[in-house]
Chain A
């Protein structure tokens, strides 16, 4: 479940303002397709990656896949620090 209070207490208001529901849903679907787990936790702690334009996000994600190989999703599930590289 999305923890709105947690998100609002941590993130700059401009991040929240720039969230676009359609963009956010597309990124969520993409991450699920890529077998990334803990989507709920990613939303609560890395909401800033969801303001990245979907197409740009996919491009950046695929670039990371080239760097880390097919293990990328597993690596994200193990350590979300990698998501910082999308910023």
Chain B
């Protein structure tokens, strides 16, 4: 693929890529979001495992809440619905989304058990509550 001659994509050429297919690789490398230098650091082999919709949706969520400068690799792996629920929870509790010029670690935690053990956040409960609100 001609893409492998470009510097920005070269680090993605890991053994993991052989598990993917040509169309997937091509699609991921040409997602519009990579045109924005803010997201260059997200170009890791992870992008071949995660669905495009998930990647773009999570970036949109970060942009919507104006925290796109702080997006991390882990936050791309968080289920989009969980991500929004966590952001809403922080806002509701007047907890800053950014701490010490970094993304609040809660938004970097895609682990449900850790969220509960470390931050006392029961994501299942929060999501149920959110869904009930949205139904009303």
**Contact residue among B19, B24, B72, B77 (Cβ-Cβ distance under 8 Å from A45):** B77
Q: Give chain A interface residues in 1-27, CB to chain B under 8 Å.
A: 3, 6, 9-12, 14-15, 18
Q: Which residues of B contact A38 (CB under 8 A)?
A: 111, 113-114
Interface centre among B45, B50, B112 (most CB of A within 10 A): B112
Closest to B82 in A: A6
Q: Does A40 touch B at the CB level, under 8 Å? A: yes
Q: Is the interface of A mostly helix, strand, loop or mixed?
A: helix
Q: How many residues of A contact B (CB 8 A)?
A: 25
Q: Does B104 touch A at the CB level, under 8 Å? A: no
- Known A-B contacts A6-B79, A87-B14, A87-B16; the reply to A81 vs B51 at CB < 8 A is no
Interface centre among A46, A51, A87 (most CB of B within 10 A): A87
Given the complex of chains A and B, what is the CA–CA distance between A67 and B48 in angstroms? Answer: 25
Q: Does B56 touch A at the CB level, under 8 Å? A: no
Given the complex of chains A and B, what is the CA–CA distance between A42 and B111 in angstroms? Answer: 8
Given the complex of chains A and B, what is the CA–CA distance between A3 and B123 in angstroms? Answer: 13
Q: How many residues of B contact A (CB 8 A)?
A: 28
**Contact residue among A12, A44, A45 (Cβ-Cβ distance under 8 Å from B48):** A12
Within the complex, the shortest CB–CB distance from A39 to chain B, in Å, comes to 9
- Known A-B contacts A14-B20, A18-B19; the reply to A81 vs B73 at CB < 8 A is yes
Contacting pair B54 A87 (CB below 8 A): no
Given the complex of chains A and B, what is the CA–CA distance between A48 and B108 in angstroms? Answer: 18
**Contact residue among B49, B54, B72, B112 (Cβ-Cβ distance under 8 Å from A48):** B49
Contacting pair A11 B49 (CB below 8 A): yes
Given the complex of chains A and B, what is the CA–CA distance between A79 and B103 in angstroms? Answer: 14
19 CB < 8 A contacts A-B: A3-B112, A6-B79, A10-B77, A10-B79, A12-B20, A12-B50, A12-B51, A15-B49, A40-B113, A41-B110, A41-B111, A44-B110, A44-B112, A48-B49, A51-B19, A56-B15, A80-B110, A81-B73, A87-B46
Chain A residues within 8 Å of B, Cβ to Cβ:
3, 6, 9-12, 14-15, 18, 38, 40-42, 44-46, 48, 51-52, 56, 79-81, 84, 87
